[in-house]
Amino acid sequence: MGIIKQLDKRTGITYVYESKALWDKEKHQSRAQRTLIGKIDPETGEMIPTDGRHRKTDEPTEKEPDYKKLYEKLLKKYEAQEILVKSLKDEIKQLRKNQ
């Protein structure tokens, strides 16, 4: 069992894997099995652990959004847009009268 660091050239992220050697009975050869254990922080050089699915282990799972707050926020935005539309329509009427 060993630790392997591998750089992803596309993203520049260095991933850290735990490698285990396994014996392939059919081919009579050694094979490596890797498990993701983290990635290297480019600023500090320290390893950030993951749960093997590219998710941080110390990060809480995302909670469900507060739909009531979202609704109220969108309602306020809608009302502001309605006021703007009304004022623009009034301005258009004024401009047409002046022609």
**pLDDT tens digits, 23-70:** 999 999 999 998 888 899 888 989 988 875 655 555 555 677 888 989
pTM value is: 0.49
Both tokens of residue 20? 């285990």
Q: 79 pLDDT band (50/70/90 cuts)?
A: very high
Tell me the percentage of the chain whose pLDDT exceeds 90: 55
Instruction: Supply the pLDDT for residue 58.
Output: 59
